[in-house]
Amino acid sequence: MLSNIRIVLVQTYHPGNIGASARAIKTMGLTDLVLVNPRRFPDPEASRLAAGAEDLVESARVVGSLAEAVADCVEVVGASARLRSLPLPHFDEPDAMARELVEHAAADPVALVFGRERFGLTNDEIRLCSHQVSIPANPAYGILNLSQAVQVLAYELFKAWRRRPQGDYRPALPPEQRQPSREQLGHFHDHLERVMQASGFLTQPHARTDAQLQALFARAQPNRKELSLLRGLLASLERHLHREKG
């Protein structure tokens, strides 16, 4: 279950933070570390701060984009000190986030994503997440060091896993009732955008219509069957548009 929980660090600047984060997650029983475009890696500083968690540093996967890092995940939580304007579902309490991720991880991969030391996650990266979480902290100075934020949230995950209901969670759902992966949702949003363009619905490029619709679908959390129903609807509208044009 914990092996289905991925920790993703986006464009980490200090290699020491990669090592310290590896140590933080290993102490909490997590093993899946993915690095998106780290500035310097591998690096002796990462190994030095990892101490006994060097195996995790060595097995960390390096990928070129956040989309790639989370493509197969059904739930992706972005850790952010500041609330963003994007209306994604937000966990105010890390323990509520941890219970939900641990529950989903019983059947499917999930991810917890951390931003850059200097400017966190971009809006485009937040858009790849399904949820956000903040660690409640001093309102006058609430930004933690990256690896310490990893430690706090990894501890919450470990605690939720230890306290998971006995007999584990309800039996795994049949595939069509499970949450779609981020990649499947991404294909849906691309399809929706194509139809909105072709039909002339998107007239003002800066209205953020697609971001608002993405947020709506993130809140609705369609399962795989509902998503394929929506894809079918889009395909039929597309055929209709082609006939009108032809």
Binding residues for ligand SAH restricted to 68-87, rule: CB under 6 A: 79-82
Nearer to ligand SAH (CB atom), residue 60 or residue 227:
60
Which residues are bridge partners to 12 per DSSP? none
Check residue 142 for interaction with ligand SAH (CB under 6 A).
yes
CA distance 60 to 53: 11
**Minimum distance from residue 69 beta carbon to ligand SAH (Å):** 14
Query: How many residues touch ligand SAH (CB under 6 A)?
Result: 19
Least distance from C-beta 139 to ligand SAH, angstroms? Answer: 11
- Rounded CA-CA distance 153/95 in Å is 8
Can you tell me which of 137, 207, 216, 233 binds ligand SAH, judged by CB under 6 A? 137
Give the Cα separation of 131 and 92 in Å (integer): 11
**Could you say whether residue 117 binds ligand SAH (CB under 6 A)?**
yes
Q: Are 46 and 20 in contact (CB under 8 A)?
A: no
HSE value, Cβ hemisphere, 13 Å, CA-based, for 168 = 11
CA distances in angstroms from 61 to 8, 85, 192, listed in the order given: 10, 31, 32
Instruction: Pick the closer one to ligand SAH by CB: 115 or 180.
Output: 115
β-sheet bridge partners, residue 33: 7
Say whether residue 149 binds ligand SAH (CB under 6 A): yes
**Binding ligand SAH by CB under 6 A: which of 120, 130, 179, 224?**
120
When asked if residue 129 is in the footprint of ligand SAH (CB under 6 A), the reply is no
Question: Is 73 or 227 the residue whose CB approaches ligand SAH more closely?
Answer: 73
Q: Which stretch binds ligand SAH (CB under 6 A): 45-53, 109-117, 158-166, 217-225?
A: 109-117
Is 16 among the residues that bind ligand SAH (CB under 6 A)? no
Q: Which is nearer to ligand SAH, 50 or 149 (CB)?
A: 149
Sheet holding 110-114, edge to edge: 61-63, 32-36, 5-10, 110-114, 75-79, 131-133, 90-91
Least distance in angstroms from the C-beta of 17 to ligand SAH:
8
Q: Which residues have C-beta within 8 Å of that of residue 210, sequence separation ≥ 6? A: 189, 192, 193, 196, 202
The three-class DSSP label of residue 105 is helix
Q: Could you list the residues that contact ligand SAH (CB under 6 A)?
A: 79-82, 114-115, 117-121, 134-135, 137, 142-144, 146, 149
